[in-house]
Amino acid sequence: MDPLTLSTSFAAIVGLMSNFSSERGHQDVLEIKDFVEWLRDHGHNEVLSAIEKSAQVSVSIKAILAEGHKELAARLGAIDASLAVLSANQGPFSSLAMSLSPRDALSAQAREILVAYESQQSANARIFSAFGERSLGFVDVPASEGYDPSDPRFLDDDLEQLVRLGLCMRSVRRGETHYLLTRQGALVAQSILKAGS
């Protein structure tokens, strides 16, 4: 399946599950048979066909719906935040993400921080202060260059956003706060680098 078809299918199914869940918001548990019937009633034959052709798709949807409306809404919110982050360097999608989800759209400096992790091949950084200046040092890479923030006032805010979005994890070691890059953070950094090349 080509990437456009694959992404469209995923987006279509997730969007339709969201619509179905919203219409059935009063129900705690949602059933796949009701979802299939809803798809048929609303003329979504392509999605219906994809579900009927693949047992794996059917089982996955059944598991998602079985978690209930509240859990589905929470997961959809997390997907929405992830899409806003991933759209940061995707041309016109960037401004759409920023206008729809400004809280989750990464600042230029937050993107720079992720790229610095990736460029240094680091997974562990902490803030260093010297002569009134603060920088991010990569403690797991000997003789690394570190990162001098382009907007020092918001270094803490950007690091907190990376933690909130699951792109970094905060860890306290011997009284010092470390920021650990997550696998998702590395993937976002790689996509930023790829979009910039």
Please write the tens of the pLDDT for every residue from 65-100: 888 778 887 887 777 777 776 666 566 776 676 666
pLDDT of 8 above 60: no
CA 48 – CA 98 distance, rounded (Å): 32
Same domain for 15 and 93, yes or no, is: yes
**What was the pLDDT predicted at 153?**
93
Q: Of the given ranges (19-33, 65-79, 86-100, 133-147), which has the lowest mean pLDDT?
A: 86-100
Same domain for 93 and 18, yes or no, is: yes
Please give the tally of structural domains in the chain: 2
Expressed as residue numbers, the domain containing 94 is 3-100
Position with higher pLDDT, 143 vs 176: 176
Same domain for 113 and 65, yes or no, is: no
Domain boundary among 79, 100, 121: 100
Number of CB atoms found within 10 A of residue 193's CB: 15
**What was the pLDDT predicted at 6?**
43
* Angle at CA of residue 188, ends 96 and 114, nearest 5°: 110
Lay out the sheet containing 124-130: strands in order across: 133-138, 124-130, 176-181, 168-173
Q: Residue 172: which CATH number? A: 1.10.10.10
Same domain for 36 and 52, yes or no, is: yes
Same domain for 82 and 143, yes or no, is: no
pLDDT of 125 above 90: yes
CA 36 – CA 77 distance, rounded (Å): 23
Same domain for 17 and 75, yes or no, is: yes
Same domain for 90 and 126, yes or no, is: no
Position with higher pLDDT, 18 vs 78: 18
Same domain for 67 and 133, yes or no, is: no
Domain boundary among 65, 100, 135: 100
Number of CB atoms found within 10 A of residue 147's CB: 22
Give the C-alpha distances (Å, rounded to integers) separating 167 from 27, 50, 126, 160, 188: 33, 32, 15, 10, 8
Tokens of 192: 């930023």
**What was the pLDDT predicted at 10?**
78
CB 57 within 8 A of CB 66: no
Question: Which pTM was predicted?
Answer: 0.61
What percentage of the chain carries pLDDT values higher than 70?
84
CA 46 – CA 44 distance, rounded (Å): 6
Same domain for 125 and 95, yes or no, is: no
